[in-house]
Amino acid sequence: MYATVADMRAEGVTPAMAGDTRLAVLLDEATRTIDKVTGWYFEPRSATLHLDGRGTPSLWLPVPPIRLYRLALYGADVSFSKEHLVVVGAPVGPGFDGPRLTFRHGRVFPRGEGNVTVGARWGYTEADGTPEGRTPAAVRRACMLLVLRSLSPLADEASLEERTRWRVVEERTREQSYRLDTVRPAVRPLTGEPEVDTLLAPYVKPSLPGAA
C-alpha cells in the first residue's frame, strides 16, 4: 500500500472516524485504484514475467525493474551482468523514457511468444538513497486523499458540490442559464477527483514499444 494507517492518523483521522481495519481496507482500495488508472505500480514487488522476444537488442518492459535476479531465454539462464546487459529501470531518475533491457555486443532477444523469462523486483520508485527507492511522494499523497474522500460524509452537500463542481457544463434558474462547456479540467480525469488526478497525471504510463 502507498500509505499507512499511521499516515492517516497523522492526517487527523481518529479511531472514531475509522478503525485500523477499515483504514487498511480503504488504503488497499486506493492503491489498487492508482495502479489501475496509471498503469504502473509504485512499490517494490517480486514477480517473474514471461515476455515475447522481438528479435531486437532491446526488450521493453511493462514495469520498471528494480533488481534482476533471473534472465532466461527459452528456459536457459543467461548473464545479466553490466558487461552484457543495460538495465533501464528504478529507482527512476531524470531522463527516464521507459523500462527496458538492452543486450550489448549485438546480441538480441530472439523472436517468440513468452520465450523471455525475467525474474525481478519491480516497481516505479524514486531515489531516496536506498537500493529499492521509495513510493513517489505525490502518489503517496494521492492515496491518502482518496481515503480521505471515502471518509467524507455522504450527506455533506457542500462538500459534494465542491468536489463535483468541475464537472458542471450547464446550470439553469427560472430567469437565466449559462454553460461552462468551454471549461475543461487541467488534466485528463483519472479518478474523478481533480486534486488527486493532478497529482497522478505525471505518473500515467505512456505508450511504450512492445510493452503491455
Structure confidence by residue, pLDDT tens digits, 10-33: 999 999 999 999 999 999 999 999
| Closest to 210 measured CA to CA, from 55, 29, 74 | 55
Query: Max Cα separation, the chain?
Result: 76
Block residue for cell numbers 529499492: 132
For residues 183, 186, 191, 192, the Cα torsion angle rounded to the nearest 10 degrees is: -20
C-alpha R_g of the chain = 22
160-201 residue pLDDT tens: 454 444 444 444 555 555 454 444 445 568 888 899 999 999
The pTM (predicted TM-score) of the whole model is 0.77
Which pLDDT score, from 0 to 100, does residue 180 have?
45
* Grid cell locating 118: 525475467
Asked if the model's pLDDT at residue 36 lies above 70, the reply is yes
- Is beta strand 76-77 parallel, antiparallel or unpaired with respect to 100-103? unpaired
Mean pLDDT over each residue of the chain, to the nearest integer? 85
Average pLDDT over residues 196-209: 88
Amino acid (one-letter) located at 118: V
Give per-residue pLDDT as tens, 79-104: 888 899 999 999 998 888 899 999 99
pLDDT at residue 126 in the model: 95
Cell numbers given for 134? 521509495
CA distance 118 to 212: 15
| Mean pLDDT on 35-48 | 95
